[in-house]
Chain A
Amino acid sequence: MKYNDVILQTVTKFISFLIFLFAIYIFFNGHQEPGGGFIGGLMTSAALVLLLLAFDMETVRRAMPIDYKTMIAIGLVFGVGTGVGSFFFSTPFLSQTFGYFHFPVLGELELTTTLAFDLGVYLTVVGATMTIIQTIGEDK
């Protein structure tokens, strides 16, 4: 029997986009509201998993040619990098700071070095979960 999952695929195209947006929102908002790198990363993987469910592994890989193992490494480099970066300012490992800056279009924004660290968490979480799921999924 030949079956057709056009509804699933169509819905996924729309929904996964929303989940992505929500994940990014949660990630950037983490410093002030509930959220952060960890949960943002998990949500991003959820969106990717939805794509994997609706389409097959090859299609997703063609659409997004990402090596998730490299992503783990990049995430860890971000994490360690912010720590090492604080050495340049003669402060202890992983010292964080923040400040308010004025941007041309966006107006005044709070920028903090923890964002880089959180980005490391985010990338690692996405990389790790996707590596696990892809590896298990591909296993025959």
Chain B
Amino acid sequence: MRDKTMTAAEVAAQVADGMTVGIGGWGSRRKPMALVQALLDSPVRGLTVVSYGGPEVGMLCAAGKVAELVYGFVSLDTIPYDPNFQRARQSGQIAVRELDEGMLHCGLQAAAHRLPFLPIRAGLGSDVLRLNPGLKTIRSPYGGEELVAMPALELDVALIHLNRADRHGNGQYLGPDPYFDDLFCLAAKHRFLSCERIVPTAELIAGGPPQSLLTNRLMVDGVVEAPGGAGFTSCVPDYERDESAQRRYYEAAIS
């Protein structure tokens, strides 16, 4: 089996200007911050970022990497708003496609299933349709209900962080929530997983129930060992969010 181990810098080198990058995790939870840092350290620009947004969105905006953001929200969880994201929005620095968070899920699902769209009720009646004139509705051929035709959110690159993985791309989450990391991988052409620890495959099986094996080999192209690689966001049970580090990020961003 292929050895897919690589460095975070090697991951960043595969991200080209203008690509669409999906980032796993949720808010300030299990974000692939080591991979994001590698993007910040690289010269890449003009990215379209798709995310349940946390501090990585603010950081990428502050570094001028983001041309467009596709999101339902951006939050630091214990701090409601990310100041760097606010500044990027309030200065008109980035284009946005703001969606209901269920629509984001739906668009990733459509891409994962290689469908052009999936119907969803969320968005109807709200300004999501007014603010995204590219979004179309579709009438059910069985009885006529009108629904949003959520287009597939096809990604060039997916970046996720898990607790454990083997060197072939079998990945494991050990906390209570998988978030949508598997879906980000299935929606993307190039999929990179960082993890707290690379372990032999047998250790994955010993380390948690079969349901904890979130990614398999066909969903992952590169594996990066990055202990602490989600920090300062949470990566339970390995570590909780580093609230004081997050607070320092916040203070630096507002000053």
A and B: bona fide binding partners: no
Residues of B within 8 A of A (CB): none
Residues of A within 8 A of B (CB): none
